[in-house]
Structure 1
Amino acid sequence: MAPSAQSSPKVTTPRSPKMIPPYYPRSPRNVSAFLSPVPLPASNTPQNLLPLDSGSNGGPQQPPLQSASPHPIKQSQHSSIAKSVMSAPGMARSYSAGKECTEWLSPPTQLYPGQALTDTPATTAPNSPRIRATTLDIPGLTKSRVSPDGRIARRDIGAKLVIVMVGLPARGKSYITQKVARYLNWLQHDTKIFNVGNRRRIAAGAQDNLANSEPLHPTVKPAGPATPATLLHGTGLFSPKALSSLAHSGPSAGGHRRTDSVTSVDIDGGVDQSASFFDPANKAAAELREKVAMETLDELLDYILNQGGSVGILDATNSTRERRKALVDRVREVAGKELGVLFLESECHDQQLLEANMRLKLSGPDYKGQDPVKALEDFKKRVEIYEKNYVPLGEHEERAGMQFIKMIDVGRKIVTHQTKGFLAAQTVYFLLNFNLAHRQIWITRHGESLDNVVGKIGGNALLSENGKKYAKTLAQFMDVERKKFREKQLHKHESSHMPPRPGDTTPPNPEYSNCCTQDEDGRPLEKNFCVWTSMLARSTETAQFFDEEEYDIKEMRMLNELNAGVAEGLTYVFLPPSLLIPGPSDSRPSYDEIKRLYPQEYDLRRLDKLHYRYPGAGGESYLDVINRLRAVIVEVERMTDHVLLIGHRVVARVLLAYFLGLEREDVAKLDVPLGTIYVLEPKPYGVEFRAYNYNSETEWFDFQPDFKLKNEEQKDIKVNVKVAAST
């Protein structure tokens, strides 16, 4: 939850005006291809200024402006560049990266007695009679004239958000960004990660690592194949001829390659990206890294302003005030002062967690395939270089009225300051329920019900005889799998070494540990196992064979099946004659009662199942289910124990969509048949995913090797989370 106004009474950021034009031009081109420098007019420079890069003691501070009027002075918050965004066919850009850090930023608005903090921006003009509110927008739950579907309207820039990551390497920044982006996208807020490191590797010539590098974002749809030309077009770092050459060269024809020494220079002329590459004394490398960072930010702003994005996440170290100031300058020059900027810093104080993070970093694109001992030595040198210049977020940012979040030990402690807006509050809420614990998440539908036998949807039917057999086998299967996990957990603990040994390639799972999670010998304690069902009979009956002394069993209304309103208890599918109930024809269920009784609703649902809401009392849509499952998802993210969720068709679809980052158009089409159980084990760089099918002949579950999710037409569904190999 976002902190209350009383928790940070000192300062607040300037309130921003509404944007006059209702729409922004959509451009298919990369923002860098058509941005042109536009100088700021001298008259636009504020006079009451606060230094952003002053020392930690704050230095001399300017007194607040005095006014003869008892009301605050109203000023236009838009620069000429921001206004051009609303009226010109493209965005304008000026290069702030090379500016001296003695420049100034506007101070936070001074609070007068009785004046409260607010998310409502100030008016565009001093005499404007109306203030535009930027409150919550939730697809499927809110609507307005400018946003009939609940998505943030293009003109409401103040409701959008730029998240800027801060932190040293191996602090879990990329893991955090991927989790946050997946959560916000699942809630239907368009979010995209812009990874500076991936662009830097290409710009520095590390083309051979491109194919094995982490994706920019688990839910990004790339415009085309990832090549130097597509990633660096418009950066100004290469000429068109050089880009073309890079695009058509193979990994060994100019790509950066490491030797076993790790610190050697690329023999083919690329830029060596060992620790010396990150030394500030290396001016050429520093200039390249700065340019790549600014170009990546330009792409992020284009996504927010021109492509309809709601949240853009800049994933980089951003470890100095100079870099952070340059980023804020660029955002303000391009988008004005409405667009929210939230800094998110990750720190690791726990030595065991930090060492585990470092081990994981060695399996990343910069060190993939290298000797772990030599790679760790080089990586530690890189971190030492960053540490010399690293300035964490703190009092300086508080005095400047900046929004920020500090995560310590990936969720052990959270510090927030001045977080404003619905999306920033949702981000804080999610991060407050966050951990790296290694555990299993099981998802399955209930056993076969009596309504399943005759093809009815909804209702509250009991289990059939086959359903009861499934329930009994499920409890026995969970007993076995729980013991297997414990054995694997202890083996992994015994075989994880830090520092790594030569040939050791299995990194430990980073998890904050204390006396509550370990025994006296330092071994991890056995985890509890939760079983959650809906409150419908077919779900609760599926959990009836679990031993309540060994499993924590709980019913949750949030896990109930989607309510079909007027269609509850009707049939959607063709019923063969053998399944028709004997009796008069008018008393038997037809092959598709919904299509016969509600043909218009039937067609509307087929056109857009995700957004369609059933008419009638209690009728729901998939978006309604997503929003009521939010509390379940956050609780699963918070807990460190195993959990089995016994749900229903729609519930299983929505849960799998979150954990595997499915495309929105695939959520309502996912095939989740009865008798299948899915297991997910969260990993730092993805998830381990397996599936088992119930075998009625053996009354056991058969592992499905090379399992792939299918849609209702049995076509493969794209999974946007990296699926790790089973171990």
Structure 2
Amino acid sequence: DPPQKPAPLPLPLRQNSGTSTPRVRPTTLDIPGLTKSKVSPDGRIASRDVGAKLVIVMVGLPARGKSYITKKLARYLNWLQHDTTIFNVGERRRVAAGGPNSLEKTRSQEMREAGHRPSVAAAQQPGLLDHTLSKTQSQAHQSENPASVAQIVLNGETKLEAPSTSDQPQPSEDSSDALTRVKTGHRKAESRKLSMPDMGEPKSPLKQDPDEESNEGPQEPEDENQEHNAAFFDPNNKKASAIREQVARETLDELLDYIMNKGGSVGILDATNSTMERRKMIMDQIREKAGPELNVLFLESTCVDQDLLESNMRLKLKGPDYKDMDPTVALEDFRQRVQVYEKAYVPLGEYEEKNNMPYIQMIDVGRKIISHQIKGFLSAQANYYLLNFNLAPRQIWITRHGLSQDNISGKIGGDSDLAPEGNQYARSLARFIDQKRREWDLKQYESLKNTHFPPQPGDSTPPNPYYSPTSERAPGPVKQEEKLNKPMSGNASPQVEPENVPGYEPKAFCVWTSMLKRSIQTAQYFSEEEYDTKQMRMLDELNAGVMEGLTYSCISTQFPDEFKSRKQDKLHYRYPGPGGEGYLDIINRLRPVIVELERMTDHVLLVGHRSVARVLLAYFRGLKREEVADLDVPLGMLYCLEPKPYGVDFKAFRWDKSAEWFYEVPDFQLKRAEDDMQ
């Protein structure tokens, strides 16, 4: 008999397709409002879809713009409705070393800047760490209550007293319990290895990371509050190295807890991570706790432009490490800190490429971008956004159209003309922008004239390297006879007299409107000789579908169920009928507009509508998800945003009908609309 054929191998089972088990195989893409599936019915990345989530690990020396990049990137991803949170190792380090900062305060502030609520509780009080740390905080992560900062284990020793919130003496800890804690700390420390599986060793020997613990060098004295001077970052400082090492691990643990257990989509680890050993430790810890499916992207920021680097260093002097310190002393100390890091710094490159590790290198905060093995939907979104960074000073103005005929009758949607009052608003807008444009140019010219590189000790504000006379990016010369303050649009305000300002070239100014008549007519008085005007369908008002042209009163009567549904959740509601839209559609429609605003170096005025203005302001102000659809943006308001290295300067102006002029509203704060149906 012929030999029997072997039984066919069973087909491999597909990844779990249930609704509650962890999902390893990632979905192709998830876009809130545009995609839906059983795993993600609302289009957001599901908690169990680990393969679609992302950890971004920052790399770079101090003063290279890492925090600036992370905050902008987090703001953008949160605006796209992908839950993103920054985890800053420096904040924990300052608390762990007994610094003055409150972790709860800094984390809450960071979340507000990134446009996301804190999802992991932080410490209640500053300075709860003396010199010691234990692994007790991992238990605190499982609680929604504010967690106290963990203690630090140093060289197998720990202080046994618990942090006290009163002047009463605290009972001492039992010695056997203390011994158990110390031994446990040893076992946990020994169990951590800095090896990276399936990755070859680098050809050159690994240098000691200033953030890594060193077994050489003198032991620093036990200060009650360790200062954050350059000596704190010396790898020979065993005590400080242990603090930094433990804090880095704890911060990464918190990030992974956010990704795996608290519904986060993107976690950003903001630290120097300047050596290969530190990055290997990070990868090892991620793979141990999250498995091989979680995407990891290294993002390095470097500066070769010395003017930009000097400017960044000046900004660092305003940070918490140098608060109330003499600027000259602080700058020298910070330079010494950078030199300590530079000794062990290993940039991304050959090793990561050899081991197929995804990374992005940003040179001079966007002047040059190098990307490698960018995989995954979120990684691609981040990469595309980073390609459009620039530090050019400019103004972004946002306003709604003037009063329209449909506004008077209370109808939503439609394409009506401006009312006479709306036409009056349009004239005032053109004259006001003319004046503000000249005022801004004069101010920047004065900055250019007074700029000196390198900055001198005692300078309170670092000059923008964009205006450095030695910079290739500096504006070109202007002939002596040319005048900056020449009348524009034929509506120049008599309050500003023309002046000769040689050596400076005014910026171009764009005016963007929607394709609806009320928006186009609001920009009709801007001269196309002086302004680049353009109509964009992306700026159109939200389409109300079958309810176009109705009042809210009619909608509540004719469509009571729809009226109720929209009132309960305006952000996720979509109007029924052909062309009906919701706020998530507006967000996706405005995505190319946001990217273009980040890319361009010119001024721009956007004349939009209520929903469009809400979504644009939500992006630039980093608002929470639940605040977007209820933002109060009435007619007659004009908003000005100036991107800065530390964030965005924000001002608001209210139109005075009788004066036909705009006046700044002091201490203006965006608020919720009183009428929740608008």
Q: Give TM class, smaller chain.
A: 0.7 to 0.9
Q: Offset of 1:213 from its aligned partner?
A: 5.5
Task: Find the counterpart in structure 2 of residue 135 from structure 1.
Answer: 28
Q: 221-230 or 472-481, which moves further after superposition?
A: 221-230
Does the Cα contact within 8 Å between 1:19 and 1:157 map onto a contact in 2?
A: no
Q: For 1:158, which of 44, 48, 51 is the aligned residue?
A: 51
Q: Offset of 1:508 from its aligned partner?
A: 2.4
AA matched with 1:474: L
How far does the alpha carbon of each residue in 1:659-693 deviate from its partner, in whole angstroms, 9 at most, with x for none?
00111111111110000000011112221111000
Task: Find the counterpart in structure 1 of residue 448 from structure 2.
Answer: 493
Give yes or no for the alignment of 1:648 onto 2:609. Answer: yes
Q: For 1:431, which of 351, 374, 386 is the aligned residue?
A: 386
Task: Find the counterpart in structure 2 of residue 709 from structure 1.
Answer: 670
AA matched with 2:644: K
Does the Cα contact within 8 Å between 1:157 and 1:339 map onto a contact in 2?
A: yes
Does the Cα contact within 8 Å between 1:199 and 1:231 map onto a contact in 2?
A: no
Does the Cα contact within 8 Å between 1:438 and 1:681 map onto a contact in 2?
A: yes
How far does the alpha carbon of each residue in 1:360-396 deviate from its partner, in whole angstroms, 9 at most, with x for none?
1111111123222211111111111111100000011
How far does the alpha carbon of each residue in 1:672-726 deviate from its partner, in whole angstroms, 9 at most, with x for none?
00000000111122211110000001010011001111111299xxxxxxxxxxx
Question: SS at 1:437's partner residue?
Answer: coil
Give yes or no for the alignment of 1:233 onto 2:213. Answer: no
Task: Find the counterpart in structure 1 of residue 547 from structure 2.
Answer: 567
Task: Find the counterpart in structure 1 of residue 514 from structure 2.
Answer: 534
Q: Percentage identity across aligned positions?
A: 62
Give yes or no for the alignment of 1:244 onto 2:163. Answer: yes
How far does the alpha carbon of each residue in 1:507-535 deviate from its partner, in whole angstroms, 9 at most, with x for none?
22354974454235996642111100000
Give yes or no for the alignment of 1:595 onto 2:595. Answer: no
Q: 317-326 or 491-500, which moves further after superposition?
A: 491-500
Question: SS at 2:360's partner residue?
Answer: strand
Whole-Å Cα distance in 2 between the matches of residues 369 and 523 of structure 1?
37
Question: SS at 1:681's partner residue?
Answer: strand
Give yes or no for the alignment of 1:221 onto 2:178. Answer: no
Question: SS at 2:630's partner residue?
Answer: coil
Task: Find the counterpart in structure 2 of residue 327 from structure 1.
Answer: 282
Q: Offset of 1:480 from its aligned partner?
A: 0.4
Q: For 1:674, which of 612, 635, 647 is the aligned residue?
A: 635
How far does the alpha carbon of each residue in 1:105-124 deviate from its partner, in whole angstroms, 9 at most, with x for none?
xxxxxxxxxxxxxxxx9xx8
Task: Find the counterpart in structure 2 of residue 518 from structure 1.
Answer: 475
Task: Find the counterpart in structure 1 of residue 179 from structure 2.
Answer: none
Does the Cα contact within 8 Å between 2:310 and 2:455 map onto a contact in 1?
A: no
Q: For 1:283, which of 230, 238, 241 is the aligned residue?
A: 238
Where does 1:627-646 land on structure 2 (aligned, <5 Å)?
Answer: 627-646=588-607
Question: SS at 2:321's partner residue?
Answer: coil
Does the Cα contact within 8 Å between 1:404 and 1:418 map onto a contact in 2?
A: yes
Give yes or no for the alignment of 1:297 onto 2:258. Answer: no
Give yes or no for the alignment of 1:466 onto 2:432. Answer: no
Does the Cα contact within 8 Å between 1:341 and 1:403 map onto a contact in 2?
A: yes
How far does the alpha carbon of each residue in 1:295-349 deviate from its partner, in whole angstroms, 9 at most, with x for none?
0000000000000100000000000000000000000000110000100000101
Whole-Å Cα distance in 1 between the matches of residues 101 and 46 of structure 2?
41
Q: For 2:654, which of 693, 700, 720 is the aligned residue?
A: 693
Does the Cα contact within 8 Å between 1:517 and 1:525 map onto a contact in 2?
A: no
Distance 1:606 1:381, change over 3 A: same
Distance 1:299 1:20, change over 3 A: farther
Q: For 1:190, which of 66, 72, 83 is the aligned residue?
A: 83
Task: Find the counterpart in structure 1 of residue 529 from structure 2.
Answer: 549
Task: Find the counterpart in structure 1 of residue 193 from structure 2.
Answer: none
AA matched with 1:388: K
Question: SS at 2:638's partner residue?
Answer: strand
State the TM-score, normalized to the length of structure 1. 0.73
State the TM-score, normalized to the length of structure 2. 0.79
RMSD across aligned C-alpha pairs, in angstroms?
2.6
Whole-Å Cα distance in 1 between the matches of residues 580 and 456 of structure 2?
59
Question: SS at 1:184's partner residue?
Answer: helix
How far does the alpha carbon of each residue in 1:141-173 deviate from its partner, in whole angstroms, 9 at most, with x for none?
111112111111222111000000000000000
Task: Find the counterpart in structure 2 of residue 199 from structure 1.
Answer: 92
How far does the alpha carbon of each residue in 1:441-474 deviate from its partner, in whole angstroms, 9 at most, with x for none?
1000000001001111100000010000100110
Where does 1:171-190 land on structure 2 (aligned, <5 Å)?
Answer: 171-190=64-83
AA matched with 1:551: Y
Distance 1:225 1:288, change over 3 A: closer
Give yes or no for the alignment of 1:362 onto 2:317. Answer: yes
Where does 1:311-350 land on structure 2 (aligned, <5 Å)?
Answer: 311-350=266-305
Whole-Å Cα distance in 1 between the matches of residues 33 and 63 of structure 2?
38
Task: Find the counterpart in structure 2 of residue 614 from structure 1.
Answer: 575
Q: Offset of 1:284 from its aligned partner?
A: 1.4
Distance 1:501 1:515, change over 3 A: closer
Whole-Å Cα distance in 1 between the matches of residues 444 and 580 of structure 2?
44
Unaligned stretches of 5+ residues in structure 1: 1-16, 25-85, 87-120, 125-131, 250-264, 573-591, 716-727
AA matched with 1:151: R
Aligned length: 561
AA matched with 2:509: F
Whole-Å Cα distance in 2 between the matches of residues 568 and 227 of structure 1?
53
Task: Find the counterpart in structure 1 of residue 172 from structure 2.
Answer: none
Whole-Å Cα distance in 2 between the matches of residues 266 and 553 of structure 1?
65
AA matched with 2:360: I
Does the Cα contact within 8 Å between 1:213 and 1:364 map onto a contact in 2?
A: no
AA matched with 1:428: N
Distance 1:662 1:524, change over 3 A: farther
Whole-Å Cα distance in 1 between the matches of residues 648 and 387 of structure 2?
21
Task: Find the counterpart in structure 2 of residue 71 from structure 1.
Answer: none
Task: Find the counterpart in structure 1 of residue 357 from structure 2.
Answer: 402
Whole-Å Cα distance in 1 between the matches of residues 524 and 42 of structure 2?
41
Task: Find the counterpart in structure 2 of residue 440 from structure 1.
Answer: 395
Question: SS at 1:366's partner residue?
Answer: helix
AA matched with 1:459: G
Whole-Å Cα distance in 2 between the matches of residues 202 and 476 of structure 1?
51
Q: 362-371 or 453-462, which moves further after superposition?
A: 362-371
Q: Offset of 1:491 from its aligned partner?
A: 2.3
Whole-Å Cα distance in 2 between the matches of residues 20 and 236 of structure 1?
42
AA matched with 2:329: K
Q: Offset of 1:220 from its aligned partner?
A: 3.9
Does the Cα contact within 8 Å between 2:477 and 2:505 map onto a contact in 1?
A: no
AA matched with 1:376: L
